[in-house]
Structure 1
Amino acid sequence: MNFSILDCTLRDGGYYNNWDFSPEVVTQYLNSVASANIDYVELGLRNFAKSGFLGAFAYTTEDFINTLTLPEGPTYGVMVDAKTILESGMSIEEAIDALFVPAVHSKVDLVRVAAHFNEVEFSAPIVAHLKKLGYIVGFNLMQAGGKPDDIIADKARQAVNWEGLDVLYFADSLGNMDGQEVQRIVTALRTHWTGPMGIHTHNNMGKGLDNTLSAMEAGVSWLDTTVTGMGRGAGNTQTESLLAYLDKGDSKYQPKPIYELVIRHFEAMQKEYGWGSNLLYFLGAQNDVHPTYIQNLLSSTHYGTDEIIGAIDYLSKLEGTTSYNGAVLDTALSFSDSKAEVTGSQDAQGLFDGKNVLIIANAPNTEKYASAIEMYIKNTQPVVISINTTAHIAPELVDYYAISHNSKFLSESKLYKGLDKPIILPKCRFTTSELSELEGVNLIDYGLEVVKETFATQGTYTTTPYDITTAYVLGALLESNVNAISVVGFDGYAQDDVRQQEMVDILNLYHAHEKSLEITSLTPTSYPIAKGSVYAPVK
């Protein structure tokens, strides 16, 4: 008989990693399923914005899909829950139009609608409108196992009368079916439905593959699988297992690309989910810097390699660093000279009135989600403030840079010479020679004072509890009536890391300020702030 395989790894597997697959895995996956001659590939879910961070494949927006290189061969699809449409607060047509473009304008050709039995009677307009947009439309009956024959048959009766349904699926959502149950459900559905039928199995009892094969024998022609069975609960029928079984006969499918994919990437993911002298001492010695400076820098959790190299470079220009002086190190790292007068200008007052502000921190997630962040900026046009420089976001998308002469500036000072964007900084914390290096750059002078357990604004400067540029930026924003604040790259640290507690202290003190706003992180974060997603569709 003729049948098709639909691989839904990126959609069902996303329940284990919040739909946040690495680009390397995605590229290898897409190439492998195409090389294996898989018929249909479900790229992910289609959703409205949800609270908390979810990766790209939880939303699978058109913008994101257009960043993917989709090999020729498979038909690509997405899934939408009927609940997403029915509970959107909009009419069915409006909700679908908000989530989908006409198929002719999309790389997606297939849309599957997943519904509970009590949602079936409300789903006809969903199927009809998706068909009107030009899609192949599938409908998945979830949790079909154990339902009486007459109820199953009645759902099929309703589906027969819908306009535009191409394939009717049933799902072993609880993973407790056996071959006999599969046959019973197929028979009940065939009471009315004569078109193509599909099955989505789960492997809770180890019968996923057996149930898929039983469905094939019963005439079911759309077969769902995932690589290594990656999916909710115990997972699904394994793509590689089904292809291995089919390879015994005359099969068009090529299992070897999937085998390689499993070995290279998915076996490790399955295990994860549930599945002495060093260079810095060398550089210190080369620059006549006492090794105790290096030792103290390395022993601190505050400083990364780039910052330490910057501090070494700074120390090498000072006299007397062949012997250790803790005060010299403090000056090199923060320029926190208690004798320096805190000064600033009024330039920051009202600077961001009525603006939606996006703050970018230079963290691993900034690099990981760089393309999505750039797309978000282009689509929403916020005022973008980069905390120090960022190598991962196009400079033309950044409106302001903020620096406070802490260790980050030490490692990046040379980069600022080429910037043609305004820099927010406290001039009182810079030497004349350092400021001369920024000659010709628009400098917005906003002062900074560091006082423990204090977060306040004074019009011309802010007082923060730590010498951390994030705190400085939040203080500067308090001088304006900002509309909204979002952040990316606010990854956070381990709970026992002192940097984590410092940031938590900063955020708590900031939120205690009468003019503070809710801060929403659009990339994964461990900080106690609101969580969203840079992949969520923009209203």
Structure 2
Amino acid sequence: MSQIKLLDCTLRDGGYINDWNFGFQTIRSLIRKLIEAQVDYVEVGFLRNCEYNADKAVFNNCSEMIPILPDKRGNTKFTAMALHNKYDVEKLEDYDGDTIDAVRVTFHDYDIDEGLAFVKSVKEKGYQVFCNPINIMGYTDAQLLQIIDKVNQIKPYAFSIVDTFGSMMKEDLLRIYSLVEHNLNKDIIIGLHLHENLAQSYALAQEYIELQSGNRKSVIDASMFGMGRAPGNLCMELIMDYMNRKQEGHYNVNPVLDGIDEHIVHFKEIEPWGYNIAYALSAKYNLHRNYAEYLLEKGRLNAKQINQILSQIETNKKTVYDETYIEKIYLDFQSNIVDDSDTINVLKKKLDKKRIIVLAPGSSLSSYKDDIHKFINSGENVIISANFIPINYKIDFAFFSNARRYDAWKEQIDEKKCIISSNLLEEGRKAEFIVNYSDLSIDDNGRCDNCTIMLIKLLRKCGIQDIYIAGFDGYDEAGNNYIDTYMVSIHTKGKEENVRIKKYVDDLKDSMMNLIFLTPSKYE
């Protein structure tokens, strides 16, 4: 029989997808299918200081788990996970063999001693204890050896290699496993928990299995259909099948497949998980995934810029997400302060006594094309486009503040007619006019880096009060938002962005600017 066991963490790690609200009957059904599949360990959820809800896989104590656990369990054992600083260990009853058999304890690199003290407390209550340090890829070899030495003194049931940010490559696994295997007390089981940031979990699990000497027991974590906080986990159905083929495994895959079809597919339709660029980028720098999410959701940075910003994150900030910190780095990166006083003066002269028309890239530029052209032909204008080059309109200037948009049009841009904000200094250094990004994107009301708003603010700096605007339609979640489909992005905002931009438009009007909309707009 193989020394390698499988632990299903669907109800715990998968709970990040649905706030652990699987529903009481679904929780019971999944547990029974996993028992039928002969999975070695089933993690039933989190131990956490919470308000108990029978539909959620989160519990204050073991007594609250009794309704979901069947009497007939076969050889399957049950576990729950606790983050030491989110659970009062005094709530945990002494082990009695009637509920869970093990508790998995997690902690960060900055609170190791507190986490290990928690491990010791749980062990004293009679449970098997898994020691799961968060982000083992963030430890140096020396730090890893130090924690192993401390773990050996406590002697928990298992010590897990947890690739929290999914940044592990084959050579990393070989290095870390070698350190753990040769220095961890031989009676302590080694666990492995992988994530799918780099689409490597299945390959790494196979590599890990090949590394086993047979002299030590191991536990590999997986979840049904890989369910877990995006990008997800190792798929239980795949690793079960692999174990059956290569390790004389005893697993029955069919109940797991049935559970996926009956329950898990539904959750994935609501909140998908799987390989995603944001999580690949976060894994590249071994960062908390929210840093890459924050930058990608801006929808204004190209891949090179995102990489440049992520590479600046300090080691002591990588593990725990700090939105204030990443926002400052983002703003500093975008600013690239330049002296634009001469540029503003030149623009003032070019715009003086002209009728100013701003073309934003909304779909109304197409649907109201005849009306817009009629208005253009009725006077002497200076026409400025915002983050694009219109095909059916002749422009005098193109203003860009978005690196992605600039990249899309840079081959067609007339540099002598190009105005860029200074965050594009590297990409657009040949542009005739460069203006300060921070002056246009930040004011007393906060930050708004919408290109059209920034352009209106630039025109205000140039002494313009009356501005005619077309194509500034606003976001419609169910509609066609852009004049060209290439502009459509998963990062396009909805109602909240409309409210935010409307406030800026109103503030600009209050500052004595006269904004006249030539096409329908949610900002009128």
Could you tell me the TM-score, scaled by structure 1's length? 0.46
Could you tell me the TM-score, scaled by structure 2's length? 0.48
Bigger relative CO (Cα 8 Å, ≥ 6 apart) = 1
